[in-house]
Amino acid sequence: MPDITITTLIVLCLAAAAAGWIDAVVGGGGLLLLPALLLGLPHVPAAQVLGTNKAVAIVGTSGAAVTYIRKAPVKVGTALRIGLAALAGSMAGAFFAAGISSEVLRPVIMVVLLAVAAFVLLRPSFGKDTGDGVRQKVTRARTITAIVLVGGGIGFYDGLFGPGTGTFLVLALTAVLRLDLVTASATAKIVNVCTNGGALAMFAYQGSVLWQLAALMAVFNLAGGLLGARMALRKGSEFVRGVLLVVVFSLVAKLAFDQWTA
């Protein structure tokens, strides 16, 4: 583990806990965790920062996924198929990443996110659990669409660019599979475990993970993830919707800042 101060270590652990909470509720924890690692480890190679980020995140995501599976009506088989498609898509996206300029992608993603935020604000019923105990049947066509477009498409985006992948997953799963936001968030966690696992395996193979630091931060990330999942299950879709809007606008602000300073 690199030489870091106790203060930096405490800040990183707190950031890991907060990121785990955000990721469990609606996705997007990487918006907090990765910048914290980059600031806290300024002299560590970027590959090791990214690898350590994945090693921390997969623990909290896995804990949240298990919590959701036990208490939310998640179709694990469908989630795993989407996850495998996302894994393949992320590998393809990573392959093409070198030829794509992030400066070109940022404005496009900001426009998409703002459109999403407007849609969620103007459609209060989007992703809301009706509470009548009746679940809409998901057709085979919608399942295939989710595997190909949500899994493959968002997985490709994750490998190509990355920021906000978990949030996009929640929104897309809600729209395509007609899930309430809590179930969509639960399904997204399983998909995220698949994609994070693939990325972590590659980073580990390359020796790009600071395992000691990751292990300590992962404990806090797991605690945050478990708390976030339980709060989402207890408070329901309205709570998730509010957090979703905060994360979307935060992501837009971050992308705008990156575009301005590029």
Nearest C-alpha neighbor of 41 from the set 253, 212, 161, 165 = 212
Do 192 and 61 contact (CB within 8 A), yes or no? yes
At 8-18, the pLDDT tens digits run: 999 999 999 99
| Position 39, amino acid | L
- For the segment 177-191, the average pLDDT, to the nearest whole number, is 88
Residue 27 is predicted with a pLDDT of 80
Angstrom distances, CA of residue 35 to CA of 13, 41, 63, 207: 13, 10, 22, 21
Angstrom distances, CA of residue 247 to CA of 27, 163, 191, 243: 8, 11, 19, 6
**164 — alpha (psi -120 to 50), left (phi > 0) or beta?**
left
Question: Does position 251 have pLDDT exceeding 80, yes or no?
Answer: no
Contacts of 244 (CB under 8 A, 6+ apart): 26, 120, 167, 170, 171, 181
Do 30 and 167 contact (CB within 8 A), yes or no? no
Residue 130 is predicted with a pLDDT of 47
134: confidence class by pLDDT, cuts 50, 70, 90 = very low
At 30-52, the pLDDT tens digits run: 778 888 888 888 888 878 888 89
CA distance 251 to 21: 16
What HEC string does 125-142 produce? CCCCCCCCCCCCCCCHHH
CA distance 23 to 180: 17
| Position 2, amino acid | P
Nearest C-alpha neighbor of 186 from the set 17, 20, 66, 57 = 66
